Amino acid sequence: MKPTTSPGHLLTGWAGHRGMRRRMLAHHAVRTGGTHLSIRVWLELTATVLESGVPLAEALRIVAESAESSALQGVAHRLRLGLPWDAAWPLEAPSREGNSDERQTMRILREVLTLAVRTGAPTASMLRARAMQLRRSEHREAEKVAAALGVKLVVPLGLCSLPSFVCLGVVPILIGFMPRMWS
């Protein structure tokens, strides 16, 4: 029996919070085993584990267990067995491991980690930078949707408010002028 304080349970409880859950189910969200994680959360979680001093293969295992990702667990297992970096990651072809959102997350995680591994750059910093980039692009996308919503709401609001303006503004003025016109 798993203890109730395992990383997966803590993460599930965190993701279950009402406000956070709505934001995490946004554009770049991955559903893995009952836990909804955005790509940004995967990147931030991996960066946090790496900053704690855990080796990369072990960090990927911890994140895979927390996110309940069989694809990432396979990568972490292959890395711990000593396979070369490129051989440890699944090919880009459609596979049985995970859904398309999870494959996209794996692709982004692989891109960032490959660059860090090959160049020797600070891995956690690169993961956080990519998460920030995704956050900014999601923010810009949300602003575009909000601007489009404002334009789409003009016609219904106009159609709703015009009759009330006529009934409450124009009709009383016309009624007020009627006795003067017949006198």
Q: Tens digits of per-residue pLDDT, 68-118?
A: 888 888 999 999 999 998 888 876 544 455 567 777 888 889 999 998 888
CA 143 to centroid of chain Cα atoms: 15
Span 132-148, average pLDDT? 93
Residue 119 above 50 pLDDT?
Answer: yes
Options 1.20.81, 3.30.70, 1.10.10, 2.60.40; CATH of 7-140 = 1.20.81
Instruction: Answer whether 50's CB lies under 8 Å from 62's CB.
Output: no
**Whether the model pTM is above 0.85:** no
Residue 178 above 90 pLDDT?
Answer: no
Containing 71, the helix (H) or strand (E) segment is helix 70-80
What DSSP string describes 6-40? SHHHHHHHHHTSHHHHHHHTSTTEEEETTEEEEHH
